[in-house]
Amino acid sequence: MEINPRTVLKQIFGYDDFRPLQEEIIDRTLAGKDSLVLMPTGGGKSMCFQIPALIFDGITIVVSPLISLMKDQVQALRANGVKADYFNSSISAEEEVNVINRATNGEIQLLYLSPEKLISVSNTWLNSLNIKFVAIDEAHCVSMWGHDFRPEYTQLKILRNSLSGVPFMALTATADKSARTDIVEQLGLKESKLFISSFDRQNLSIEVRGQVPKKQKLEEIRRFVVRNVNESGIIYCLSRKSTEEVASYLESAGHSVAFYHAGLDAEERERVQNEFITDSTKIIVATIAFGMGIDKSNVRWVIHYNLPKNLEGYYQEIGRAGRDGLPSETRLYYNMRDFMLYSQFADQGANTEMQKEKLKRMLQFAEAKSCRRRILLSYFGEHLTDDCGNCDVCLNPPEYFDGTVLAQKALSGIARMNEKEGIFMLINVLRGSHNAEVHAAGHHNLKTYGAGQDVSFTDWRDYIIQLANQGLVEIMYSEGSALKITSLGWEVLKGERTIRLTSPVSNKEKSRQKIKASPTVDESELNTHLLTELKKLRNSLAREANVPAYIIFNDKSLNAMASAMPVTENAFLDIPGVGLHKMEKYGTKFMEVIQKYKSVDKPKKIPTTEITFVLYQEGFSPEEIANKRNLQVTTINSHLAQLYAEGKPVELQKLVERGVIEKVRVAFDELDRPHEVKPIYEQLEETVSYGEIRMSLAIIMKDE
């Protein structure tokens, strides 16, 4: 009987529908054809090879350089009743023998191998396996143009040639056009089809903050962590020293935090990583060595303490937040010192010019004044027609002007130079420069020579970067950073579309710009108590099985249970992420908790402020109340302010410093006593939280 991919999707993994492109990719693989799959982190890449593996009558080999990811994926597959295992340097000789015996006896459906191990056993027991399919994850590692080149990946072409009748699938979350071509060639893929899924992770908010002094940056991060209390997060730093400093700062403020870098021994790194995966530690401060291959679905935020060295790495790192699809935050801090340090590193490494160009592109993103999501997606070849509305630029839009004519001059220059020159040559041509290189190339004879001589060099550079950020041009690093016009760019050049640009901002103006924080709102309290009980059960089961909690069920599945409250097997199977195996293994226990919750006669819903008041009367601090209620501290402070205004016995004066109250009083009067809190928050340059402002206002108004 032929097994249908949709049946596997539902019965094994518990989902009703495929994400975009997944089904087409799976069907192509089942037809025996090669594919190159580009999907963002958390976009569903693993399902593309796991489902064919469960349909093929034989074994699937999955190549991955990430030991932690192998372990995570194998645990998740086993939790769904799938026969999976891994073969890498982390297992003992005895375990190796066991894996080999099970693989050769046909007892494994998916076998994960590191590229080093695969190469070392390629002429031994691997030859005896009934291999029906090979998936190569993190495929960008094979390309010199990728951001994480690994020489051992280049030997995988030998495996492709030895398994001529077996379909191969290369998968990556980060590869520009140069790297994509290289991947196909280096791996020897045959007539492969390129699948590019949308890289638009709409659940991630994007914020960038530039030139923030160290002391202020640390304090901003502390406030950010308080606002996201009890949520898992990662802070990426440039140096080992910084990871330890930031971790120490947050730990002294009472947060659950650890640092991670290559200077720790392997045992310590594994311990830190495992404690983060199992939620024993909430925050990791790390160099970029951390996170590769961690399939933790409930990371709610990612902060970059320094400028990343390229957009590929940045995108992959922020992609570790919100893999369950729930709203998550990202924030990037940068300064020119970061840029100079990375430039020095690039001088000492391979592909110096390419690495420097990518670093410049990263800085251009950080300094951009247009929708950041559009810039990121454009870099990966995807072009949005509208701004995202979920980044700092969209929330605080700059003033635009019609830049169509300027854009057409630049695009015309690129076209007349046959798309073979970079930014500096283009600017010199537009400005009518007498540069020797311009004359040597004959570009002084072009119609566009001198067409933009009234615009300064730095302003032209800013405008061209905006064109790249908006998806009108692409920078081809494999062709000497030549500028290429996209289909969108051709539309503008032909007069079929207009384009808006922003005026360049001076460094002095830039330093005065502030990012406005949006006020926090209460989270939904629908069945909050039930959700808490379901999480307790999940954590208990996870400890028993010695696996991360999200392996049992992820947060999205638990939220759906708390909302739908299923108490029959069919209803429980309708919950996303619940397959037959998990239904049989865990269904009864979770439904018992839900049934118990439903059978209790619940009183009318108590106002949220009353619940806070009861806990306050029991002696709990605002932070402790926030932890107990799974709410933000700012929300609890707002409750206490409201209770104080209503005449309840709340000692607000003990919760907010006198100096803070006076600051708020001055700002309140200067702004002519506004009805909203946000203007005061901005007037005080974000140094006082919303909750503190509300408490201060309650005291001020009552004093009058």
Which of 490-499, 608-617, 687-696 is most confident?
490-499
Mean pLDDT of 86-115: 93
Shared domain for 628 and 480, answered yes or no, is no
Domain presence at residue 692: yes
Q: Are residues 656 and 639 in contact, defined by beta-carbon separation less than 8 angstroms? A: no
Helical H runs in 188-307? 214-227, 240-252, 266-277
pLDDT at 174 over 80: no
Q: Are residues 180 and 208 in the same domain?
A: no
Q: Which pLDDT tens digit goes with each residue over 184-203?
A: 999 999 999 999 888 888 89
- CB neighbours of 250 closer than 8 A, spacing ≥ 6? 221, 222, 225, 257, 283, 285
- pLDDT top residue among 685 and 414: 414
58 — pLDDT class (breaks 50, 70, 90):
very high
In degrees, to the nearest 5, what angle opens at C-alpha 634 toward C-alphas 629 and 636? 40
**Do 345 and 282 sit in the same domain of this protein?**
yes
Task: State mean pLDDT over 206-211.
Answer: 90
Distance CA 9, CA 577 (A): 10
Q: Is residue 535 part of a domain?
A: yes
Q: Is residue 514 situated within a structural domain? A: no
Q: Domain with 578 in it: what CATH number?
A: 1.10.150.80
Residue 136 belongs to a domain:
yes
- 8-state DSSP, 685: T
Find residue 416's DSSP bridge partners: none
Which parts of 42-169 fold into alpha helices (H)? 45-55, 67-79, 93-104, 115-121, 156-162
Q: How confident is the model at residue 101 (pLDDT cuts 50, 70, 90)?
A: very high
Query: From CA 7, how far away is CA 71, in angstroms rounded?
Result: 26
pLDDT at 235: 96
What's the pLDDT score for residue 508?
Answer: 37
Say whether 70 sits in a helix, a strand or coil. helix
Q: Is the pLDDT of residue 604 over 70?
A: no
User: What pLDDT digit, counting tens, does each position of 649-670 carry?
Assistant: 888 888 888 888 999 999 888 8
Q: Is the pLDDT of residue 480 over 80?
A: no
Q: Look up residue 641 and give its amino acid.
A: A
663: tokens are 């600051």
pLDDT band at 333 (very low <50, low <70, confident <90, very high): very high
587 and 613 share a domain?
Answer: no
Q: Are residues 255 and 361 in the same domain?
A: yes
Rounded Cα gap, residues 180 and 145, in angstroms: 9
Grade residue 335 by pLDDT with cuts at 50, 70 and 90: confident
Question: Are 336 and 458 contained in the same domain?
Answer: no
Among candidate residues 352, 380, 408, the one where a domain is terminated: 380
pLDDT score of 293: 54
User: What pLDDT sits at residue 67?
Assistant: 81
> Could you read off the pLDDT of 440-453 as tens digits, one per residue?
999 999 999 999 99
Copy the structure tokens of residue 490. Answer: 């051709």
Half-sphere exposure of residue 152: CA atoms within 13 angstroms, side-chain side: 13
Q: Which of 214-228, 280-294, 347-361 has the lowest mean pLDDT?
A: 280-294
The reply to whether 390 falls in a domain is no
The reply to whether 210 and 342 lie within a common domain is yes
What is the total count of domains within the chain?
Answer: 5
Judge whether 260 lies within some domain: yes
Q: If we measure between CA atoms, which residue out of 100, 195, 118, 109 comes closest to residue 160? A: 118
Split at pLDDT 50, 70, 90, the class of 289 is low
State the chain's mean pLDDT as an integer: 87
pLDDT grade for 292, boundaries at 50, 70 and 90: low
Which of 380, 409, 439 is at the close of a domain? 380
Confidence of residue 146 (pLDDT cuts 50, 70, 90): low
Do 316 and 218 belong together in one domain?
yes
Average pLDDT of the segment spanning 310-335: 90
Q: Check pLDDT > 60 for residue 9.
A: yes
- Structural domain boundaries, residue 670: 608-703
CA pair distance 174, 604, nearest whole angstrom? 51
pLDDT of residue 419: 94
pLDDT band at residue 365 using 50, 70 and 90 as cut-offs: very high
DSSP H helices, 630-673, are 633-645, 658-670
> Looking at the structure, do residues 431 and 499 belong to the same domain, yes or no?
yes
Q: 458: burial class by Cβ within 10 Å (0-12, 13-18, 19+)?
A: exposed
Percent of the chain with pLDDT over 90: 43
192 and 208, same domain (yes or no): no
Confidence at residue 415, expressed as pLDDT on a 0 to 100 scale: 95
Asked whether the beta carbons of 575 and 561 are under 8 A apart, the reply is yes
Are 214 and 275 contained in the same domain? yes
Average pLDDT over residues 138-148: 74
Digit-coded pLDDT (tens) for 491-544: 999 999 999 998 765 433 443 343 333 333 333 444 778 888 999 999 899 989
* pLDDT tens, residue by residue, 410-434: 999 999 999 999 988 999 999 999 8
Share of the chain above pLDDT 70, in %: 93
Estimate to the nearest angstrom the gap between the alpha carbon of 87 and the chain centroid.
28
Residue 69: both structure tokens together:
């990811």
Instruction: State how far Cα 693 lies from the chain centre.
Output: 32
User: Interior CA angle at 128 toward 126 and 129, to 5°?
Assistant: 70
Q: Three-state SS for 110?
A: strand
Whether the pLDDT of residue 4 is over 60: the answer is yes
Supply the pTM of this predicted model. Answer: 0.62
Q: What is the pLDDT of residue 509?
A: 42
Q: What is the CATH number of the domain that holds 475?
A: 1.10.10.10
Contact 155, 136 (CB under 8 A): no
What backbone phi and psi angles, to 5 degrees, belong to 402?
A: -70, 110
CATH number for 185:
3.40.50.300
> In the predicted model, is pLDDT for residue 150 greater than 80?
no
**What tens digit of pLDDT does each residue of 68-95 get?**
788 889 999 999 999 999 998 888 999 9
Mean pLDDT of the 666-692 span: 83
Q: Is residue 641 part of a domain?
A: yes
Confidence of residue 257 (pLDDT cuts 50, 70, 90): very high
Cα distances (Å, whole numbers) of residue 541 to 84, 282, 549, 583: 21, 19, 8, 14
Single residue among 164, 196, 228 that ends a domain in this structure: 196
Q: Confidence class of residue 603 from pLDDT cuts 50, 70 and 90?
A: low
The whole-number pLDDT of residue 34 equals 96
Q: At which residue do the structure tokens 């195996």 appear?
A: 581
Helix and strand element counts for the chain (H, E): 33, 17
Report which listed range, 39-43, 434-438, 506-510, is most confident: 434-438
Residue 594 lies inside a defined structural domain of this protein:
yes
Q: Are residues 556 and 657 in the same domain?
A: no
Does the pLDDT at position 479 exceed 50?
Answer: yes
**623: Cβ contacts below 8 Å, ≥ 6 apart:** 226, 229, 633
SS (H, E, C) 518-544: CCCCCCCCCCHHHHHHHHHHHHHHHHH
CA nearest neighbour of 243 among 286, 197, 305, 301:
286
Is residue 321 very low, low, confident or very high in pLDDT (cuts 50, 70, 90)? very high
Name the DSSP class of 690.
H
**84 in Cβ contact with 78 (< 8 Å):** yes
Q: Are 287 and 261 in contact (CB under 8 A)?
A: yes
Residue 647: CB atoms within 10 A of its CB come to: 8
